[in-house]
């Protein structure tokens, strides 16, 4: 019973980070990227975390 439970928990975790691409159906990898955001008051840029879901469809877009 313990093993089954562990397996289910693992599946749940995987589901949180991996999802299927709506275009090609391949599993997409969640990749954390930093997006520059301009602060209008100071004029400085700061970086904000963004999670991109990457597969062959948008691989060039995200990494290019």
Q: Hey, what are 26's tokens? A: 């391949």
- For the bound state, the minimum distance from the C-beta of residue 52 to Zn ion, rounded and expressed in Å, comes to 12
Residue 28 burial by Cβ neighbours in a 10 Å radius (0-12, 13-18, 19+): buried
Interface contacts to Zn ion, rule CB under 5 A: 21, 23-24, 55, 57
| Residue closer to Zn ion, measured from CB, 30 or 37 | 30
- For the bound state, the minimum distance from the C-beta of residue 10 to Zn ion, rounded and expressed in Å, comes to 24
- For the bound state, the minimum distance from the C-beta of residue 32 to Zn ion, rounded and expressed in Å, comes to 19
């Amino acid at each position: 019973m313990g093993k089954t439970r562990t397996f289910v928990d693992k599946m749940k975790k995987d589901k949180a980070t991996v999802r299927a691409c709506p275009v090609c159906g391949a599993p997409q990898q969640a990749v954390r990227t930093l997006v520059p955001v301009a602060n209008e008051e100071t004029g400085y840029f700061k970086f904000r975390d963004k999670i991109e879901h990457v597969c062959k469809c948008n691989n060039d877009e995200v990494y290019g």
